[in-house]
A = this chain, B = another copy of it.
């Protein structure tokens, strides 16, 4: 937020921000936009009056409303951030884009591919910024992993394996796949930059809600590259651990570690010799040093909000634009279809 003592002639662009949805994640958006210098948090909308009273207590300068239409009509709202239930993302984002607002949407972008495609098309047509909050892509740890890959340290990629489990908040509207897997899929999409060929998923509904609380997702890429994701709302302890293995090095990214979240291991095997004559002697193990790159401590969501404001100001495409959101939604939709079909592989053709 612009410091209140910036008086006199200050010629900077101050973007008016409206936040729609103030449940679990919305307060984090409010806090970050409130503290950023290049914008002014002007409006907040939520259907529940008690949430708006909470906002008023915390941020007395912010106007509140139970009507998203009022927020979208407000002249001091140039950009909106949407943190409502997934099923409402498409409609709210569409209305905002139509009214000429730039839009930041919580993950997943929408509840279906059709909706996501329509949003991407609309944003392009309206020449508005459409960004999805794939928050882990902006974390210091994932950025450090990306740097290791960019430097070519991993060699050929072998597999991506991610586990995200805890005794989590059961959602009513979405299953664990749509709740947790967007994180892993967004990380995978950002790190690998590859088109998946097929996806399979199985899940379990253990507690009688008919909503999956556990899912395993397998994603095939060209060659032998495989990705696998385990998401689970019903585990006794929290685990958030990604293995990324290449021909030259291997990475463990453990988000629950207080420090050293990313470890890069100079380990692997070398297979020397022709394939008809496979003898153990031809396999050589390599065990070298490990290093843990320094992780930039800035809060990931702070970077999300800052990047959104930069894109709004400079009219440039965000790192996690509508297309990125669409790619993740496509994987989720196909994984859901596989899960419904008992694990039958679903092709992802361009």
Contacts and interface: CB of A to CB of B under 8 A. Distances in A.
A211 interface: yes
Interface residues of A, number: 79
Contacts of A291: 289-292
Contact of A53 (B4, B288, B292): B4
A227 to B, nearest CB: 10
Contacts of A267: 167, 236
Contact of A224 (B163, B204, B287, B344): B204
A279 interface: yes
A229 to B, nearest CB: 11
A219 to B, nearest CB: 10
Nearest to A225: B204
Interface in A246-297: 247, 250-252, 256, 258-260, 263, 265-269, 271, 275, 278-280, 283, 285, 287-294
A115 interface: no
B343 A345 contact: yes
Interface in A10-38: none
A60 B60 contact: yes
A225, A245, A263, A279: residue with the most chain B Cβ atoms closer than 10 Å: A245
12 contacts: A158-B206, A165-B243, A167-B285, A167-B287, A210-B278, A234-B250, A235-B245, A236-B243, A237-B259, A256-B258, A289-B291, A343-B345
